[in-house]
């Protein structure tokens, strides 16, 4: 699993480098600049809960829910259940 995370981080970092070098990439992926910022918050957090995401992105919890659900539907984010507390979900 560590190898997958390492490879994913490498790909993500390369992607973000190209993103910051070119604003045209926003049109290619059909995401707004704000949505890229939200993804950046999620991907740079090892494990992030909905409340943590809402706090870091400075949006309401209901707004955070809508954002996360859109990312899940688009398969940018995967929601997983905590192994220690079955009431908590994390976004990856």
CATH 1.20.1270.30 fits 2-91, yes or no: no
pLDDT tens figures, 3-56: 767 777 778 877 877 766 655 544 445 778 898 899 889 888 878 888 899 999
pLDDT for the residue 89: 64
Confidence class of residue 66 from pLDDT cuts 50, 70 and 90?
very high
pLDDT of 88 reads 62
For the chain, which residues make up each domain, given as ranges? 2-91
- Full-model pTM: 0.61
**DSSP characters over 7-54:** HHHHHHHHHHHHHHH-TTHHHHHT--HHHHHHHHHHHTSSSB-HHHHH
């Amino acid at each position: 699993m560590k190898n997958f995370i390492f490879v994913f981080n490498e790909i993500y970092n390369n992607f973000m480098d190209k993103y910051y070098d070119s604003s045209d990439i926003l049109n290619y992926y059909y995401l707004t600049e704000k949505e890229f910022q939200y993804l950046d918050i999620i991907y740079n957090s090892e494990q992030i809960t909905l409340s943590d995401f809402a706090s870091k992105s400075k949006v309401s919890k209901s707004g955070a829910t809508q954002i996360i659900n859109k990312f899940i539907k688009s398969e940018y984010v995967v929601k997983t259940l905590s192994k220690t507390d079955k009431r908590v979900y994390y976004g990856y």
